[in-house]
Amino acid sequence: MAHPVAVSDNSFQSEVVESQEPVLVDFWAEWCGPCRMIAPVLEKIADDYAGSLKIVKLDVDNNQRSAMKFGVQSIPTMILFKDGKEVERLIGYMPEQKILGRIKPHLNAGTTATA
């Protein structure tokens, strides 16, 4: 069972930019209600797309450098990186199917959910 992985300003480069697979970064904070609401949705996506999509979480309160670098002004913000570059940005809570509709076109051909 795959789970989103916590990243920090220090690990962002190696975990996200240098990743061989697409990475969805969840910019969030503990106090953010919509962030807590979307967490189980991202857990399910991480599990369903294990091996073809990596999901990581970056706490903006403790990692302001990365949040500022990517212009995150509201949370939750999810940014999909592919080959080290931003290819999609989603802002605010949204249901699983809407998230998948936005990110699936950027996943490698033939990628389907395992569940």
Which residues are identified as catalytic? 32, 35
CA 28 to chain CA centroid, Å, is 10
Alpha-carbon distance 80 to 64, whole Å? 18
